[in-house]
Amino acid sequence: MTGLLSTIDSPADLRRLTRAQLPALAAELRDFLLHSVARTGGHLSSNLGTVELTLALHYVFNTPEDRIVWDVGHQTYPHKILTGRRERMGSLRQLGGISGFPLRSESGYDAFGTAHSSTSISAALGMAMAAHQKGENRQAIAVIGDGAMTAGMAFEALNNAGVLDGKLLVILNDNDMSISPPVGALNRYLAQLMSGRFYSTAKQVGKQVLSRTPHLLELAKRLEEQAKGLVVPATLFEKFGFNYIGPIDGHDLESLIPTLENIKQLEGPQFLHVVTKKGRGYDLAEADPISYHGPGKFDPRVGLQQPAIPPTPTFSQVFGRWLCDMAAHDKRLVGITPAMREGSGMVEFHQRFPDRYYDVGIAEQHAVTFGAGLACEGLRPVVAIYSTFLQRAYDQLVHDVALQKLPMVLALDRAGLVGADGPTHAGAYDIPFLRCIPNVSIACPADEAECYRLLSTAYAQDHAVAVRYPRGSGTGAALPSGPDGLQGLPYGKGELRRQGQRIAILAFGTLLQPALVAAEALDATVVNMRWAKPLDLDLLLAVARSHEALVTVEEGAIAGGAGSAVLEALQAARLPLPVLQLGLPDRFIEHGDHGKLLAGLGLDAEGIERSVRAWLAPVEPQQGVAA
């Protein structure tokens, strides 16, 4: 590799360049980023949009002494490349490789681990106030997107920050709007002017003088707001106590760098509004930033290609089909998503039933309580939400839904491990944290057909039911069709899938398939439990009484999970039967290929067989100790 980028192993190297060299470096960085992601897969559009902003931040601020917190973090590939991880980008999101998100253990430049949205302002404010308390002259910077600004947590942090004295800079990376005419030479000048010391000092002196004549002070405030209103979209953030600057072109280094240098000299909370374009510099991504948000491997010369043979539908697509089918059947159905229309498979539903579709933004708490309000009025809310994001709405589920016993379907996508996205996105904990809530049930379909039918079962109940299903495709089981297609499976009932001897494997969810393969080698009974709550007690106890031991298998946390529910049921029935629990251990599982992760945890067919045989093997007496 030749060129400027090959000389940058840290931001200190970057700061040795002249400003005149930075546009060429930006072009090299964008080209490297495009071809790197094309080889590994990962987030693309958002990273192409933050190249200049990342360069400017590391050029102006003394990182890592100055802290940068990237909201969500899927836009941090340029940051990783500039902070010593360029040569490791080929391992991005792979087992043993670097993470696709900021990770404190990976680099000292990753000030805060992120992946869930809207946490940056709170974390950066904490860092700013820690520096204030310790007497350290350090800047804390939160870079947050316009989507993440829809979450209540961001506004909670803004509300708190406005009354504190920390050196906090919030940068709104607005990439959902085009760069409008005000973002030009005049606006660049005004942004630099408003961020300069002269403007700030003059403003404070003016307030002191005019405070003696309140009516003139109020007039001055109104005139300032009117003047700034000519070139900025709003002054909302000044109402929170921030000095608002912008909007400025987030791809214009000649605008970014002087503005950031001015802001660096100011005291108190600052708010910089930059406008960027997702997919910047790659025409295909600019034209279709959603498709290029998180692509797999592709050839940058030709772009994303549709497979010649349609792949097996994903569980998300199965949910999307069920949602449309049930909506056509029942006009009470309302679909809700917290800004995950594409990921949750709701595009067709949005197109066909726009009046019954609600995207509430990145606001999981609101999504659940909003659904509760709909349910109170006789509608049937279906909340499509990733398992990992439901964690953010736990109180709302307990207090606003379950306590009032309101009907709601929680379509929990990405249950279990999620592969390359890693522990921040893994749906490892939904069974434990849902199982303890009264008036909440949990269905665990083993394949696509069961997923479709169990969604119908969930929809028919008078309380909240979560249907958990994994990322990607299953076995390719044919979906129901015809007049009886929406008929559900029996509530709270499992099924015997294989009759064997001595050992019974109780499978919850899609690990049924490897359990069946392992059972052939073990001659074990296999039960497709289907429900983690309520358990099919009749089937469970019948199997327990006719076998010597049980094995529970689930792609979820062992602690408090479905296997724990089985142990509780056996104890209540006073059946002293040995139980081996297989699932996710009490640690966070790193990113990597999903199949390799399952194999490493012993949750593939070979691993299940191996674990059962080792557990059943008689314990050899230690030498010198009587048996």
16 is catalytic: no
Q: Where are the alpha helices (DSSP H) in 8-70?
A: 11-14, 22-40, 45-48, 51-60
Nearest residue to 207 via CA among 220, 191, 196: 220
Query: How remote is the C-alpha of 132 from its chain's centroid?
Result: 31
Backbone angles phi, psi at 557, to 5 degrees: -60, 135
Structure tokens at 196: 């300069």
Cα-Cα-Cα-Cα dihedral sign, residues 258, 260, 261, 265: positive
Minimal CA–CA distance to 466: which of 389, 354, 352, 540? 389
Q: Among 80, 356, 392, 435, which one carries the catalytic annotation?
A: 392
H helix runs in 444-525, sequence order: 448-459, 512-522
Report how many helices (DSSP H) and strands (DSSP E) the chain contains, helices first.
25, 17
Q: Which of 451, 371, 363, 365 is nearest to 407 (CA)?
A: 371
Encoded amino acid at 422, one letter: G
CA 194 – CA 178 distance, rounded (Å): 23
3-state helix, strand, coil in the chain (%, to 5): 45, 15, 40
Output the furthest CA–CA distance in the chain (Å, rounded). Answer: 96
Torsions phi, psi for 42 (to 5 deg)? 140, -170
Distant-in-sequence, close-in-space partners of 69: CB < 8 Å, separation ≥ 6 = 111, 112, 114, 119, 120, 123, 124, 127, 140, 141, 142, 143
Catalytic, 278? Answer yes
d(CA 351, CA 328): 13
**Helices (H), ranges, 98-252:** 120-134, 152-161, 185-195, 197-210, 214-229, 236-239
- Write out the two tokens for 532: 């983690």
> Assign residue 241 a region: left if phi > 0, alpha if psi is -120 to 50, beta otherwise?
left
Residues making up the chain, counted from first to last: 627
Identified catalytic residue from 278, 356, 453, 471: 278
Q: Is position 364 annotated as part of the catalytic site?
A: yes
CA distances from 503 to 115, 522, 537, 542, 569 (A): 41, 8, 18, 13, 18
- Which 3-state string (H, E, C) describes 291-355? CCCCCCCCECCCECCCCCCCCCCEHHHHHHHHHHHHHHHCCCEEEEECCCCCCCCCHHHHHHCHH
Q: Which residues of 360-431 form beta strands (DSSP E)? A: 380-386, 408-413
Structure tokens at 389: 């994001």
**CA-derived radius of gyration, the chain:** 28
DSSP 8-state code for residue 501: S
Distances (CA, A) of 20 to 17, 253, 254, 446: 8, 10, 9, 59
Query: Which positions are catalytic?
Result: 278, 364, 392
